[in-house]
């Protein structure tokens, strides 16, 4: 049976291979371990194997894990990657280090208002809808700049880049098309905001296409922690 440590090493090797194929340096690409629905013991196992960045989708589950682990594991960087309702903004602002799924100015304003002054500014990515699937969230690619301009004025937020979820399709040509569209939008946004350094795209099933198109952060869950069973409690 493969262990979490084995699967982390395999994921890291996949990143190295995908980077080499397109002449990129794999040190530009960070691995976010997506631990949603998985028990705290699995996070500690991954931590002991060297992993420091973890992603969570559900506010209360993430906050519970952060509260349990933050004193003993202050080096963990916590990323919120799920959909956020505005009434949960305060919880995200007061616990997480990163928020990847920002697509509304109203939520940005709340996160800015609630970010505690003793914490560093909250790192944020704007989520863009690059998929033809209607269920996917995120803003239209043409609306990125006005939202970026608004976030840029908020002192408790630090805009880091763009995030997207690809279509669930295994069609590699479609994955390539979606990720290259986001990569172009990122390049355009960087002409206004050159400090941006994060293109959050690629998951267990489409990491290669994402890295070929400039991803700097891949979000890997099931390939590290195994399939998710949504009835499991933490």
Distance between CA 198 and CA 189 in Å, rounded? 12
Q: Which stretch binds ligand PLP (CB under 6 A): 17-25, 106-114, 130-138, 199-207?
A: 199-207
- Looking at the Cβ atoms of 117 and 230, the one nearer to ligand PLP is 230
Looking only at residues 133 through 172 of this chain, which bind ligand PLP when binding is defined by CB under 6 A? 165
CB 222 within 8 A of CB 228: yes
Can you give the length of the chain in residues?
A: 234
Please, what is the minimum distance in Å from the beta carbon of residue 190 to ligand PLP?
Answer: 22
Looking only at residues 71 through 100 of this chain, which bind ligand PLP when binding is defined by CB under 6 A? 81
- Looking at the Cβ atoms of 66 and 207, the one nearer to ligand PLP is 207
Among 8, 201, 203, 234, binds ligand PLP (CB under 6 A): 203
Q: Which stretch binds ligand PLP (CB under 6 A): 14-22, 105-113, 185-193, 201-209?
A: 201-209
Alpha-carbon distances, residue 44 vs 20, 40, 68, 99, 134 (angstroms): 30, 6, 11, 22, 36
Side-chain half-sphere exposure of 81, counting CA atoms within 13 A: 25
Q: Which residues of 181-218 are buried (b: 16+ CB within 10 A; e: fewer)?
A: ebbebbeebeeeeeebebbbbbbeebbbbbbbbbbbbb
Please, what is the minimum distance in Å from the beta carbon of residue 108 to ligand PLP?
Answer: 18
Please, what is the minimum distance in Å from the beta carbon of residue 68 to ligand PLP?
Answer: 21
Among 38, 110, 160, 219, binds ligand PLP (CB under 6 A): 219
Q: Which stretch binds ligand PLP (CB under 6 A): 46-54, 105-113, 141-149, 213-221?
A: 213-221
Alpha-carbon distances, residue 106 vs 37, 61, 84, 121, 143 (angstroms): 28, 23, 12, 17, 15
Looking only at residues 30 through 59 of this chain, which bind ligand PLP when binding is defined by CB under 6 A? 34, 36, 57
Distance between CA 150 and CA 223 in Å, rounded? 36
223 lies in the site for ligand PLP, by CB under 6 A: yes
User: Rg of the chain's alpha carbons, rounded to an integer?
Assistant: 17
Binding site for ligand PLP (CB under 6 A): 34, 36, 57, 81, 165, 203-205, 219-223
């Amino acid at each position: 049976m493969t262990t979490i440590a084995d699967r982390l090493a395999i994921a890291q090797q996949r990143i190295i291979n995908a980077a080499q194929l397109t002449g990129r340096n794999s040190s530009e690409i960070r691995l976010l371990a997506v631990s949603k629905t998985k028990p705290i013991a699995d996070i500690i196992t991954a931590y002991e194997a060297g992993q420091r960045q973890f992603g969570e989708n559900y506010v209360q589950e993430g906050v519970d894990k952060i509260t349990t682990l933050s004193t003993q594991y202050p080096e963990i960087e916590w990323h919120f990657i799920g959909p956020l309702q505005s009434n949960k903004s305060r919880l995200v602002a007061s616990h997480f280090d990163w928020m990847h799924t920002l697509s509304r100015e109203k939520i940005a304003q709340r996160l800015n208002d609630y970010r505690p002054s003793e914490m560093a500014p909250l790192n944020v990515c704007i989520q863009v809808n690059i998929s033809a699937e209607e269920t996917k969230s995120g803003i239209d690619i043409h609306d990125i700049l006005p939202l970026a301009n608004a976030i840029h004025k908020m002192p408790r937020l630090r805009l880091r880049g763009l995030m997207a979820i690809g279509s669930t399709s295994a069609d590699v040509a479609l994955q390539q098309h979606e990720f290259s569209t986001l990569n172009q939008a990122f390049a355009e946004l960087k002409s206004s905001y050159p400090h941006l350094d994060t293109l959050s795209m690629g998951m267990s099933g489409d990491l290669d296409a994402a890295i070929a198109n400039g991803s700097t952060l891949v979000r890997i869950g099931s390939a590290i922690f195994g399939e998710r069973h949504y009835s499991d409690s933490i």
